[in-house]
Amino acid sequence: MSREQSDFLIPHRKDYYFLVFVKQGSSRHWIDMKPYIIKPDTFYFTIPHQIHLKEEVRPFTGTSIGFTNEFLNMTGNTSLMQLPIIQNPHNGHELNLKPEDVSFIEDMLDKIYVEFNSRNGWQQNMLMSYMQVLLTYLSRLYTAQFSDAAQSQDRQLLKRYLTRIEEMYTELHEVNNYADILNISAGHLSEVVKEQSGKPAIAHIHERLILEAKRLLFHSERSIKEIAFELGFEDASYFNRFFKRITQTTPAVYRSATREMYH
């Protein structure tokens, strides 16, 4: 699918998973307000609803794949949804590859491309099988790069806590709310989260709220009051104070400053 050059220069959201293997070329790309210098022989990935912006259109070669949650759920195999490359608990977007990784990924992408363009029987099964191998391999690289391979029970608790935040951050803003859902005390949850992540449990909730607030301020035309209500704040003035306390600037100033960067 072709896109106009100007489309890349406008902040936009994708409602699907987007994987890109860059073989040659370079440019600067923003994902959720974080800049990346695109490098050859590197793998990039994003999950649904993140903000994308490509500063300039430069030629590069590689392969991209986009797919939805519905595609992952087609086989009824829920294990795919739990893979680290899909969950992305460390909010990473770049995998550095060794030569053997490049060879393996290129081979799998070639197989997927050929199968996608074929008219053979069992095409869906073949595509799903190839994708499962590719995503599992990428998850192995993700785990090695972003986290320890072995996770303790406490690490699993942190993962469940972060997953619940992702599911309910617009509704629940307090640590004790999540402790109740996880059937543990707020004190124990706070202790484990601080030990495993190095940050207070409440900080993870605040960071997720601020991230979504920044996305909406940057990308949407919603008013600040509308954004406050969408994020679960009953009082827009409290949302303004909350945002300023965390970011040291107001929502209005943040919106103005970030948009000036691209105009």
Domains in the chain, CATH or no CATH each: 5-146 (2.60.120.280), 153-260 (1.10.10.60)
Query: Where residue 34 falls among pLDDT bands split at 50, 70, 90?
Result: confident
- Model-level pTM greater than 0.75? no
pLDDT of 5 reads 42
pLDDT of 262 reads 61
pLDDT in tens, 101-146: 999 999 999 999 999 998 888 888 898 899 999 999 999 999 988 8
Q: Does the pLDDT value for residue 9 go beyond 80?
A: no
113 token code pair? 């491309």
28 token code pair? 């600067």
Phi and psi of 63, rounded to 5°?
Answer: -135, 135
Q: How far is residue 74's CA from residue 96's CA, in Å, rounded to a whole number? A: 30
Q: How far is residue 255's CA from residue 263's CA, in Å, rounded to a whole number? A: 13
pLDDT in tens, 146-175: 865 445 667 788 989 999 999 999 999 999
Per the CB < 8 A criterion, the answer to whether 23 and 41 are in contact is yes
pLDDT in tens, 201-213: 999 999 999 999 9
